[in-house]
Homo-oligomer: A and B are copies of this chain.
Amino acid sequence: MRFDVTVLGSNSAIPANGRYLSAQVLTIQNNLYLIDCGEGTQFRIRDFKIKSSKINEIFISHLHGDHYLGLVGLLGTLNLQGRKETLTIFSPPGLEEIVQAHIQYGETRFGYELKFVVVDSLKYQKIFEDQLIEVFSIPLIHRIPTSGYLFKEKPHPKNINSEAIKKYNLSIDQIKAVKAGEDLKMEDGIFISNNELTIRKKRKSFAYCSDTVYSEAIIPFIQHVDILYHEATYTDDLRKLAKQYMHSTALQAATIADKGNVGKLIMGHFSSRYESPKALEVEARTVFENSFAVVEGEIYSHDEN
C-alpha cells in the first residue's frame, strides 16, 4: 500500500538552480492529492509521469505566487485532457475569485465541476475526508493567511492477532466472536479483551507545513507524524532574515521535527542562494538525524518501524 510524497518543486519565490516551485503529490494507495501548485507544476507532472487524472483534491497553502500560479494552467490542461470528475480545491480565501476572473475573461467552459473550499487558516480542524484519509488544516504563521495540512489515514480495521489465537488456542467460533469485536470469557473464567486479541495497523500520516516562521504552536498538530514536510528556506546563519520574511531555517525545521517526535523530516522551499540544498540537510541532521533536503522527482515514503 503506497503512502508517499513525490516532490515536484522545491525552490522558493522564483525558479532557480534547476529547481521548480512548491508542489507535491501525496500518493495513498491509488489516490493522488496535489499540495501546492507553483508555476510549472504541470510540466513537472508530465516530467515525473504523475497520473493527473487521479488527482481529485488540491490543497493550496497560501496565495503567494510561488505556491499556486501553476493552478489555472493545470485546470485548463485537465479540461483539454477530457476530465469529467469533480475537482475540489482547498485554500485560504481568495482563490475562487482569482480563478473565476481567469475563467470569465478566457470564456473557458470546463467539462468538469470545480469546487472551492475556503480554509480558515486560524483553525485546526477536519476539512476533508474520503474512504482513505482525513485531512486537517494546520494554522501557520506567515505574511498572509496560510494553512498547513495534515493527511492522516483513516483507522484501519482490526485484524485478529494470530499469536493470540495460538496462545489461547481459540476455536473457530471464538475467532468469529473476536472478529465481531467481542471480548472473550474463557472456560476457565479468564476474561480477555478484544484489544488483546486483535491488532490494528498504525494510521500513517503526513504533515505539510509551508510557508511558516518557526512556531512551536504547530507541534501538537504534527506530533508523531510519519513524514513532516517543513519549509527550510535558509541556513541558520540567516535566522534573522528568516524571521523577517516569516520563513524558517533548516535548524528550526529540525527542531520542530525533533520536538514533534516525527518519523522523518523532509525540507524544501529553498532560497535561490543555495545552488545545492545539501548544507541545509547537514545542518538539520545536527538536531534531527532523519532529515532530508528534498530532490525533485524523488519519492519520500514513511519508514517502517
Residues of B within 8 A of A77 (CB): 13-14
B73 with A39: CB separation less than 8 A: yes
B15 with A106: CB separation less than 8 A: no
A80 with B14: CB separation less than 8 A: yes
Residues of B within 8 A of A66 (CB): 73, 76
B104 with A46: CB separation less than 8 A: no
What 1/0 flags go to A135-172 for Cβ under 8 Å of B? 00000000110000000000000000000000000000
What 1/0 flags go to A58-86 for Cβ under 8 Å of B? 00000111100110110011001000000
In Å, the complex CA distance between A98 and B108 comes to: 14
| Number of copies of this kind of chain in the complex | 2
Across the interface, A14 reaches (CB within 8 A) one of B42, B94, B98, namely: B42
Least CB distance, A213 to chain B, in whole angstroms: 16
Residues of B within 8 A of A94 (CB): 101, 104-105
In the complex formed, the residue of B with least CB distance to A21 is B73
B65 with A106: CB separation less than 8 A: yes
How many positions in chain A have a CB within 8 Å of any CB in the partner chain? 34
A48 close to B (CB within 8 Å): no
B98 with A63: CB separation less than 8 A: no
B69 with A65: CB separation less than 8 A: no
Known contacts A80-B14, A98-B101, A101-B98, A107 near B39 by CB under 8 Å? no
A97 close to B (CB within 8 Å): yes
B105 with A63: CB separation less than 8 A: yes
Least CB distance, A128 to chain B, in whole angstroms: 22
A101 with B105: CB separation less than 8 A: no
Residues of B within 8 A of A108 (CB): 65
A112 close to B (CB within 8 Å): no
Least CB distance, A159 to chain B, in whole angstroms: 45
